[in-house]
Chain A
């Protein structure tokens, strides 16, 4: 079945960078796009970035200068890197699959991982 699983460092010092990995199973990254979405404690959802099956990317314009997304199709992994972290980057970080139904691309997220919690603190 379709699964996504995030993994990350848990704790990051201010001004340092964050690297988190999304490992997927049950589908191929050569067919589906994968998003990163974050949620600060007690707050709403913020979309960060998407990498499509062809490797093209679209970034949240407000965070574009700090984000980088890449993937390894053979390992079924998607990587997110964020630079210059501050305390307001403390959040649950989710990866989610973009919906594809009957060959039609829908710009929705149909499967989500459980998230990896990132705390920015010294």
Chain B
């Protein structure tokens, strides 16, 4: 199974600055011309919310300050400028060619 490693495990970013979260896959999640990496935000007591799909596509209704990039095994979620409401835990998730899904371990974002 593909393992996703997120870093850092936690970070604190000042209001208005940039937050960058990394997700590294144990093998490529690219196939059929797409990168099968997605990003979610989860706040306490709530289910996850899809932010980014297929590595760089912004889900409908998600603010443009969220962006995703990467391919192969290395992916990044950027949030800029960070707002207070962005305090949450962020997860990457992949699906491989066998349609097995895995999540990263999560990154907790604190707003200073």
The interface of chain A, by Cβ under 8 A from chain B, is: 35, 37, 44-47, 50, 58, 60-62, 94, 96, 99, 106-110, 112-115
Task: Report Cα–Cα, A47/B102, bound state, in Å.
Answer: 6
Given contacts A106-B54, A108-B53, contact A44 B91 (CB under 8 A): yes
**Residues of A contacting B: mostly:** strand
Whether a CB of chain A sits under 8 angstroms from the CB of B83 is: no
Task: Report Cα–Cα, A114/B36, bound state, in Å.
Answer: 25
Task: Report Cα–Cα, A96/B38, bound state, in Å.
Answer: 14
By a CB distance below 8 angstroms, the chain B residues around A99 are 50, 53
A22 to chain B, nearest CB (A): 12
Whether a CB of chain A sits under 8 angstroms from the CB of B85 is: no
User: Nearest CB to that of B34 among chain A residues?
Assistant: A106
Given contacts A61-B1, A99-B53, A110-B59, contact A47 B103 (CB under 8 A): yes
Whether a CB of chain A sits under 8 angstroms from the CB of B100 is: yes
Contact pick for A50, options B47, B99, B102, B106, CB 8 Å: B99
Task: Report Cα–Cα, A114/B106, bound state, in Å.
Answer: 19
By a CB distance below 8 angstroms, the chain B residues around A58 are 98-100
Q: Would B36 and A107 count as touching, CB distance under 8 A?
A: yes
Q: Would B48 and A45 count as touching, CB distance under 8 A?
A: yes
